[in-house]
């Protein structure tokens, strides 16, 4: 494997992460216009958006066997095209009715779930060839894609560009560019070596669901995904309702959280390479706990704002490190990453309603204490992400 090939695969993996985030945020940016166009109340809109979750939940456990069989490059290519179809269908539904929107969002969720597993598998492959940690930077790329998608969406709203025209254009861009970059992915395994896929027993893609280490990594990822998802959904509301800040300040607190998390993901690889996964994520779990405590119990909004920064930094590396740990052994990377992602993504579904339910009884601000508790669990089980000593090493490790 040449250095040029690995650099090309690295750039292609960034493109996959950025494209995924850009497409998803483009849809999210136009939800208010779709709601108004179809005259949906909050309950009806919630049911429509549930189609995305349903598609993802179906795709995540199936994606392991699929990626194992056809590879991450073909999976990302196919899912980028399916996502483009789903986004176009949802865009058309904004003009013609609810049913096309539901169908389109189901396809979007399904494509996004399988795409997510495949690009994370490729990320672990690139990490092995580079010989250094880089997964968290790929996830920072996803964050960059979401920010770009949101900004473009805001511009489209300001310019009164129709939803259908905007989202169809995004679908075409993603459906063309991402498959073009995916052609530069490196093989998930050495197809001629001892770890070749043909050497694996049939059904091995499902065997990962019975592996204690893989399941524990999944729980580890779930705790960080919960902390990240709750931060995304509730920081602004908790700051406004709990600390009495203006709406604009609540939005700034949310922006601070996203910025801190993105910065942590970009600069985190240096810490991981120098000190190792377990000490870093254990320390960051404690930083996250401190941040949540400061946000919830801080006596003034200034303390709460500082808490959002610590919360963001503390949750930055847990999800990508869990994905790297799931992919340590290239022979079983697809299956294990699929399991880890399936468990972890349950937090993104359970987090918002759980905090909402608790918030009705103890206020949203106090309900956020659950995040600190789960980060404490993450610290206790952080040893699960220790690199596998038996994972096959690359014959040509490249140091960038």
- In the predicted model, is pLDDT for residue 118 greater than 50? yes
- In the predicted model, is pLDDT for residue 297 greater than 70? yes
- Among 9-13, 156-160, 265-269, the range with the most confident prediction by mean pLDDT is 9-13
- In the predicted model, is pLDDT for residue 188 greater than 90? no
For residue 174, what pLDDT band results from cuts at 50, 70 and 90? Answer: very high
User: Is 207-385 in the same CATH topology as 3-186?
Assistant: yes
pLDDT of residue 198: 45
pLDDT of residue 220: 97
For residue 400, what pLDDT band results from cuts at 50, 70 and 90? Answer: very low
Q: What is the CATH number of domain 207-385?
A: 1.20.1250.20
pLDDT of residue 237: 82
The pLDDT tens digits for 370-395 are: 999 999 999 999 999 999 874 444 43
For residue 104, what pLDDT band results from cuts at 50, 70 and 90? Answer: very high
pTM greater than 0.75: yes
| 3-186 belongs to CATH 1.20.1250.20 | yes
Domain ranges of the chain: 3-186, 207-385
The pLDDT tens digits for 54-97 are: 898 889 888 888 888 899 999 999 999 999 999 999 999 888 88
pLDDT of residue 190: 55
Which H, E and C letters describe the chain, residue by residue? CCHHHHHHHHHHHHHHHHHHHHHHHHHHHCHHHHHHHHCCCHHHHHHHHHHHHHHHHHHHHHHHHHHHHHCHHHHHHHHHHHHHHHHHHHHHHHHHCHHHHHHHHHHHHHHHHHHHHHHHHHHHHHHHHHCCCCHHHHHHHHHHHHHHHHHHHHHHHHCCCCHHHHHHHHHHHHHHHHHHHHCCCCCCCCCCCCCCHHHCCCCHHHHHHHCHHHHHHHHHHHHHHHHHHHHHHHHHHHHHHHHCCCHHHHHHHHHHHHHHHHHHHHHHHHHHHHHCHHHHHHHHHHHHHHHHHHHHHCCCHHHHHHHHHHHHHHHCCHHHHHHHHHCCCCCCHHHHHHHHHHHHHHHHHHHHHHHHHHHHHHCHHHHCHHHHHHHHHHHHCHHHHCCCCCCCCCCCCCCC
- In the predicted model, is pLDDT for residue 202 greater than 80? no
- In the predicted model, is pLDDT for residue 199 greater than 50? no
Position with higher pLDDT, 245 vs 183:
183
């Amino acid at each position: 494997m040449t250095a040029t090939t690995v650099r090309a695969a690295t750039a292609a993996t960034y493109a996959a992460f950025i494209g995924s985030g850009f497409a998803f945020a483009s849809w999210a940016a136009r939800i208010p216009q779709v709601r108004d166009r179809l005259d949906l109340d909050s309950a009806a809109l919630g049911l429509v958006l549930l189609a995305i979750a349903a598609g993802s939940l179906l795709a995540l456990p199936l994606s392991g066997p699929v990626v194992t069989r056809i590879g991450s490059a073909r999976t990302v290519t196919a899912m980028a095209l399916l996502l483009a179809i789903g986004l176009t269908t949802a865009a058309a539904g904004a003009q013609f009715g609810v049913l096309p929107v539901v169908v389109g969002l189901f396809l979007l969720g399904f494509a996004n779930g399988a795409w997510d597993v495949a690009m994370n598998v490729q990320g672990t492959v690139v990490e092995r060839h580079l010989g250094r940690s880089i997964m968290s930077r790929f996830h920072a790329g996803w964050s960059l894609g979401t920010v770009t998608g949101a900004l473009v969406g805001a511009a489209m709203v300001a310019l009164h560009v129709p939803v259908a025209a905007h989202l169809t254009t995004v679908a075409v861009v993603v459906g063309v560019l991402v498959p073009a970059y995916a052609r530069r992915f490196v093989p998930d395994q050495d197809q001629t070596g001892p770890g070749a896929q043909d050497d694996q027993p049939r059904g091995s893609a499902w065997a990962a669901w019975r592996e204690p280490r893989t399941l524990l990594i999944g729980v580890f990822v779930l705790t960080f995904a919960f902390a990240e998802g709750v931060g995304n959904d509730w920081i602004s509301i908790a700051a406004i309702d709990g600390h009495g800040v203006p709406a604009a300040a609540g939005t700034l607190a949310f922006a601070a959280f996203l910025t801190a998390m993105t910065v942590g993901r970009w600069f985190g690889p240096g810490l991981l390479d120098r000190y190792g996964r377990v000490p870093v994520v254990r320390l960051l779990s404690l930083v996250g706990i401190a941040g949540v405590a400061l946000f919830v119990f801080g006596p003034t909004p200034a303390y709460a704002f500082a808490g959002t920064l610590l919360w963001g930094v503390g949750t930055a590396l847990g999800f990508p490190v869990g994905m790297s740990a799931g992919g340590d052994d290239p022979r079983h990377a697809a299956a294990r990453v699929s399991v880890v992602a399936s468990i972890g993504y349950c937090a993104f579904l359970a987090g918002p309603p759980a905090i909402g339910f608790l918030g009705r009884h103890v206020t949203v601000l106090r309900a956020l204490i659950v995040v600190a508790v789960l980060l404490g669990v993450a610290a206790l089980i952080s040893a699960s992400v220790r690199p596998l000593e038996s994972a096959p090493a690359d014959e040509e490790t490249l140091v960038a």
